[in-house]
């Protein structure tokens, strides 16, 4: 399966009271990967929400990715996204199997991406590219790094951090396959607007 398109990421605060309706609205517009990102330690709620997302994703034939938590991903038989301090990639690949989607945060460092590729990552993520409401302190990344990554790597490239419909086109022009978005998608005023934005992000990625 080719990993290219919108990568929607949930935010528990932003989506409070409208979690499933906004996620379904995004899926309606087309989502290649959906990441469940919840930084709390409420294990019961996390399991419940992740299961609900897996059911939704099954209906829309979208791949679910769990942020940070390989054990939860294994329990639900879905993918995982690992940052640099979220645990090693190779044992996670062994845990989840060959088919699982495993993503790796590489910030603005090509060497991290090359290492992740060697250890079996399915995609590499660079960021942040713009000011981010969700993670304002994340290190920044340039379009030039994307050019280098595109010429050296044979994996799908994901961009993250402050991406909106107004600033995403240059990322695509510099070789990005996956646009990972929280606020620029789920910060919308209505479910109809979430669906419209999802469709528009996918249009940007059509070659």
Annotated binding site for Mg(2+): 68, 86
156 binds, among Mg ion, ligand 3NM, ligand LCLJCK34, none (CB under 5 to 8 A by kind): none
> Half-sphere exposure of 107 toward its Cβ, with a 13 Å CA cutoff?
10
Main-chain phi, psi angles of 89, to 5 degrees: -75, -45
What the block records as the tokens of 73 is 């991903």
Q: Tell me whether residue 32 or residue 134 sits nearer to ligand 3NM (CB atom).
A: 134
Closest of 67, 64, 60 to residue 30, by C-alpha? 60
Tell whether residue 71 is a contact of Mg ion (CB under 5 A).
no
Question: Between vectors from CA 99 to CA 207 and to CA 44, what angle results, nearest 5°?
Answer: 105
If phi over 0 gives left and psi between -120 and 50 gives alpha, with beta otherwise, what is residue 175?
Answer: left
Closer CB to ligand LCLJCK34, 76 or 121, in the complex: 121
Please tell me the distance from the alpha carbon of residue 116 to that of residue 28, in angstroms, as a whole number.
32
User: Quick check: 83 binds Mg ion (CB under 5 A)?
Assistant: yes
**Number of H-type helices and E-type strands within the chain:** 9, 8
Asked if 120 touches ligand LCLJCK34 (CB under 6 A), the answer is: no
Q: Contact residues for ligand 3NM (CB under 6 A)?
A: 105, 127-128, 132-135, 138, 160-163, 181-184
Longest dimension (CA), the chain: 43
158 binds, among ligand 3NM, Mg ion, ligand LCLJCK34, none (CB under 5 to 8 A by kind): ligand LCLJCK34
Q: Which is nearer to Mg ion, 11 or 68 (CB)?
A: 68
81 is an interface residue for ligand LCLJCK34 by CB under 6 A: yes
Binding site for ligand LCLJCK34 (CB under 6 A): 7, 35, 37, 67-68, 81, 83, 86, 103, 105, 125, 158, 160, 180
């Amino acid at each position: 399966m080719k990993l290219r398109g919108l990568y929607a990421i949930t935010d528990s605060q932003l989506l409070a009271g409208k979690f499933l309706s906004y996620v379904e609205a995004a899926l309606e517009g087309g989502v290649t990967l959906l990441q469940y990102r919840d930084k709390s330690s409420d294990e019961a709620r996390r399991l419940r929400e992740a299961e609900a997302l897996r059911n939704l994703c099954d209906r829309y034939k979208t791949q679910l990715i769990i942020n940070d938590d390989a054990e939860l991903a294994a329990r639900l038989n879905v993918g995982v996204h690992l940052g640099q301090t979220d645990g090693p990639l190779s044992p996670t690949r062994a845990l989840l199997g060959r088919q699982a989607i495993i993503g790796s945060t590489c910030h603005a460092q090509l060497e991290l991406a090359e290492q992740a590729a060697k250890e079996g990552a399915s995609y590499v993520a660079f960021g942040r590219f713009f000011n981010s409401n969700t993670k304002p302190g994340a290190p920044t990344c340039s379009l030039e790094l994307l050019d280098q990554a595109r010429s050296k790597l044979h994996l799908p490239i994901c961009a993250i951090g402050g991406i909106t419909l107004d600033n995403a086109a240059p990322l695509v022009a510099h070789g990005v396959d996956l646009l990972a978005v929280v606020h620029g998608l789920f910060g919308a005023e209505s479910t109809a607007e979430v669906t419209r934005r999802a469709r528009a992000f996918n249009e940007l990625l059509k070659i």
